[in-house]
Amino acid sequence: MLGLRVRAETPGPPVWKGEYDWRKFPPAYAQVQTRIWAFLFFESWSEMPLTDKFGRAITDLRVSVTDRCNFRCVYCRSANPENHMSADDLLSWDEYERLVRILVAMGIRKVRVTGGEPLVREGVEDFIARLKALGVQDLSMTTNAHLLAERCDRLVGAGLGRINISLDSLDRAKFERITRTKSFDKVMAGIDAAQASPLRPVKINAVLVRGVNDDEVEAFAQFARERDLIMRFIEFMPLDADRAWTRDTVVTGAEVHRRISAMWPLVPVVHERSETARKYRFADGRGEIGLISSVSQPFCGFCSRIRLTADGKLRTCLFSKDDHDLKFLLRGGATDREIGDEILAIVAEKEKGHRINEPGFVPPSRTMVFIGG
C-alpha cells in the first residue's frame, strides 16, 4: 500500500529539459533526490538490474566528452589535425547529465570521463560536480595530463576521486615521436600535481608497441617504485587510426610480467573479476603494476562496461561494430522511461566478446579517439 500511496501522492519524475539546476542544490540533497526519483521511476525494474543476456551485471560507464585531443598518438589518432566532429554533433552537458542520471538509477556506479582529451572541453570541472551530485559512487578520469597541473585542484574540488594518466615513454625524444607533441614536461608536472593531491596513487597507462617503446618495460616499473604509483601496461589493440596494428606489434602482459618479475618479485593483488587489469605489488617496496591483456588474455567473460561516445552513441563493447544512437532519442522528445527501455534492450544484446582472436575479425570503423578510452 505504501508504494501505491507514494505513486498517488507524489508527482512523477520530470522529463528533465533544463529545469533542474544542480547548482541550486547541495550534493547530499541532489543525491537523495536522485534516489527518490530512481525508486519512483524504476520501481517496476527493481527485479531487472542492468544485465546482458549472458548474465553480466553492467555497473561501469565510460563517458567520452569530446573527440578532440591535443596529442596525436600513433596508436590512437591520425596525424591529420582536422578529423574531428562538429560542435553540433556533440552532446551538451545537460544531455550527458540526463543520460548518466538514468543510468545511475539503473545500477551504474562507476563513471570514467574520457575523450579524446577531456580537459580540452570547457566546463569539464562543472560536469564532474554534476556527476558527483547524481550520486556516482566511483568517479574517475583518463587524461594525457598536458593541462592537468593547473586544473588538478579544481577537479578534486569538483569531486573527482581517481585519475588515469597516459604516458607512453619516459624518454623525451621518444615521447615526442609517439605523441607528436613537445609536452613531456607538462605531462610530468601533471603527474606530480596529481600525486601530491587526494588523487594519489595515480594510475599511469602505457600502451606498449613492439619496436617503439617495448624497451622501457623495466624503466616504467622502476618509475612506479620510485614514485609509489600504479603503472599499467596495456596491450596494443587494433583501434589505431593509421591501421598499423599487427599481432607482431603486441607486447603481451605475460612478457611484461616475466621481465619485471625477473628483476623484482611481484605479489598478486586481489581485484574484482570485472576489472580490466591484473594487479601486482612489489614484494620489497612501494608501487604497483597492472597488466591489461585485452588481446592475449581477454577478460570479456566478466565485462561490466558500456561506453557513451561524444556524439551520443551507446557502445556495448570497445570493438562493437554497431553504435546505438541515444542522441536521436534525447533530441526527439523521448521520455526518460523510453530512453531507459532502449538502454535495457541495447545492453541485453551486449556481445559475448571482442572476437580479436577469432577468424575473420574486423576492427570497428571508429578508432580509439572517436570511441573514448
Would the pLDDT of 7 be above 90?
Answer: no
Residue 21 predicted with pLDDT over 70? no
How far, in whole angstroms, is CA 57 from its chain's centroid?
17
Annotate 78-106 with DSSP letters as a single string.
-S-TT----GGGSPPHHHHHHHHHHHHHT
Q: Where do the domains of the chain lie?
A: 48-371
Name the pairing type of β-strands 266-269 and 278-282. antiparallel
Instruction: Report the C-alpha gap between 373 and 368 in whole angstroms.
Output: 7
| Residue count of the chain | 373
pLDDT of residue 351: 78
How far is 127 from 132, CA to CA, in rounded Å?
Answer: 9
Give the CATH class of 48-371: alpha beta
Mean pLDDT check: name the lowest of 162-176, 251-265, 297-311, 345-359. 345-359
Q: What is the tens place of the pLDDT at every residue in 81-123?
A: 556 778 888 999 999 999 999 999 999 999 999 988 999 999 9
- Across 92-101, 249-258, 297-306, the highest mean pLDDT is recorded for 92-101
pLDDT of 319 > 80? The answer is no
Q: Crossing angle for the helix pair 172-179 and 184-195, nearest 10 degrees? A: 100
Residue 184 has pLDDT above 50, yes or no: yes
Q: Is residue 214 predicted with pLDDT exceeding 60?
A: yes
Q: Higher pLDDT residue, 85 or 284?
A: 284
- Tens digit of pLDDT for each residue in 333-367? 999 999 999 999 999 988 776 666 556 656 555 55
Answering whether pTM is above 0.75, one says yes
Prior bond of 115 cis (ω within 30°): no
Cell numbers 553492467 label which residue? 58
> Among 9-18, 19-28, 31-40, 247-256, which is the least confidently predicted range?
9-18
Q: Helix 93-105 to helix 336-348 angle, to the nearest 10 degrees?
A: 70
